[in-house]
Structure 1
């Protein structure tokens, strides 16, 4: 049985590490590689119009599960399931879909389980065997809270990796992936950045994001998407990872402080619904 998520446990130490944000593009791309998720995002998401707000809302929601306490996590899980009940339609093959399709729902959770582990593998020292066991057990508890079926939660980390690799091996490119890659290239500026500065920053953010996405994606899937990756790119990515490992000297409470604050703030706002509604409306 997993210990509760609390200060010093594996999920608490690693889930909110700021370096995991570097893999945001990669994890979103892997999520929409699933055909049901792709159809739902295509039909019901406004991320192409305002990706920055959508990214912040996603981060705020994720923070509650790990750093918002059990009551906050239960509330957020219930809210998300209720929100997704209305997301349904017809996918690219003409079949009806629901955002609560059990396999697709489990896959989205799986990508969120994997990304902190990948962040430590690329940019940190990696999780030890006991840490992986504890982390995975804690994230299975989160999955159950979210409503992921027990049979869709592999029993241990080794089984989870086999499941994850098998899912990725079955994915191909789709229209939603193409839209996502185009959105990264043409993304509108955040409101607080001056227009003259964004003219230069937009190209930089596209180059940087695509470099990390290409470096972090599973090699076979990257090839199927037609994303070029050379030996020189591999050397540059390894060098980038070494630089990011320098931040490993920063204590875990400091590396995760932004996610803890966001999670606790969200729980406080849920307890003050009028203020929360006013802030959401204002955004």
Structure 2
């Protein structure tokens, strides 16, 4: 009998830490980790416009993740069902002749896993590391999020120790160097203007500085084995620069009350939920006339 997955509870470890603004700093390395998986990389190359609209894609991803974490049970179920429907059509053959489908559990789990690990890594790097008890609770709740996404019980590692063993094995044996990885790295190093109205002479120095900093975080936060596989260098001086930046972030965020650190995510969830409610009121059958796509059991 399938147990109903639950959305994160108000006040839980996931609620308090996953949407922390500092987590966004690890967005670039998480995206590299995701597209280094051959299925994800092929799907992004052939079905995504992230190279032309990186900021729009970032906003959509932020809104979606925020809704799953802070949208309550109904909001999370509705958003995860939408994500599965969206990924149904993402399939094809990659440049090595391998067939892929975005809803393949192995690839779908990997994307979820990067988000799970990213939340822990962000607080270890830019804040206060989670305790062992907090990490165990955090993983248990994120495991429920995985079930909401459509993964099955047997897909998901049972506890944090099992998850860490799975994660390290995937990095070591499954991730690869591909074009999507280098497209992401290039887009981070050479950030496009987020808004067309920003004058180029204003954005040029701002974008260059932000790109260098984002690239520093990207390379420094990648697992060493993947960094070496991609031929990315990491020097003691880069390590010192990353640590200095982390200290600045840590000190600045210490001045921000904890509820405000997740305020953006909670506000995003309210906006998405309100929009979805309005759509359902105007067109009720669209939200209820078909079952959401499920991931295969394999």
Question: TM-score band, normalised by the shorter chain?
Answer: over 0.9
SS at match of 2:100: strand
Residue 4 to residue 40, structure 1, CA distance change in 2 (3 Å): closer
Shift of 1:215: 1.2
Question: For residue 262 of structure 2, what is the aligned residue in structure 1?
Answer: 256
Q: Which runs of 5+ in 1 are unaligned?
A: 278-283
Q: Which residue of 2 aligns with 1:84?
A: 87
C-alpha distance in 1 between matches for 2:124 and 2:133: 15
Aligned-pair CA distance for 1:3: 8.2
2:201 aligned residue: 196
Shift of residue 275, structure 1, vs aligned partner:
11
Give the Cα separation in 2 of the matches to 1:114 and 1:167.
13
Distance 1:276 1:158, change over 3 A: farther
* CA RMSD between the two structures: 2.0
- C-alpha displacement at 1:273, in angstroms? 1.9
Of 218, 233, 241, the match for 1:236: 241
Distance in 1 between residues matched to 2:6 and 2:278, nearest whole Å = 30
1:223-265 per-position Cα deviation (integer Å, ceiling 9, x unaligned):
1111111111112212222222221353321100010000111
Deviation at 1:203, TM superposition (A): 1.4
SS for the counterpart of 2:254 is: helix
- How far is 1:21 from its partner? 0.5
Aligned length: 277
Does the Cα contact within 8 Å between 1:3 and 1:134 map onto a contact in 2?
no
Separation in 1, partners of 2:176, 2:75? 36
2:269 is equivalent to residue 266 of structure 1: no
CA distance in 2, matches of 1:53, 1:254: 24
Summarize the alignment of residues 90-129 of structure 1 with structure 2, pairs less than 5 Å apart. Answer: 90-129=93-132
Q: Mean Cα displacement is larger for which, 235-244 or 133-142?
A: 235-244
Query: Alignment partner for residue 174 of structure 1, among 166, 171, 178?
Result: 178
CA contact (8 A) 1:269 1:275 kept: no
Contact 1:269 1:276 in 2 (8 A): no
The answer as to whether partners of 1:270 and 1:276 remain within 8 angstroms in 2 is: no
**8 Å CA contact 2:124, 2:130 repeated in 1:** yes
TM-score, normalised by the number of residues in structure 2? 0.88
C-alpha distance 276-106 of structure 1, shift in aligned 2 (>3 A): farther
Which deviates more, 266-275 or 148-157?
Answer: 266-275
Match of 2:158 in 1: 155
Between 197-206 and 263-272, the greater mean CA deviation after superposition: 197-206
Asked if the contact 1:48–1:187 (Cα under 8 Å) also holds between the matched residues in 2, the reply is no
Gap runs ≥5 in structure 2: 284-298
Aligned partners of 1:187, 1:22: CA distance in 2, in Å? Answer: 14
Runs of 4+ in 1 over 4 A off after TM superposition: 1-4, 274-277
After superposition, the Cα gap between the structure-2 partners of 1:89 and 1:68, relative to the gap in structure 1 and judged at 3 Å, is same
* Contact 1:68/1:264, CA 8 A, preserved across alignment: yes
| Candidates 66, 69, 73, aligned match of 2:69 | 66
Cα deviation, residue 126, structure 1: 0.6
1:276, distance to aligned residue in structure 2 (A)? 11
Deviation at 1:59, TM superposition (A): 0.2
Superposed displacement of residue 93, structure 1: 2.1
1:189 and 1:276 mapped to 2: Cα distance?
Answer: 36
The 3-state SS of whatever aligns with 2:92 is strand
Shift in Å at residue 34 of structure 1?
0.2
Describe the SS at the equivalent of 1:272.
helix
**How far 1:183 moved relative to its partner?**
2.0
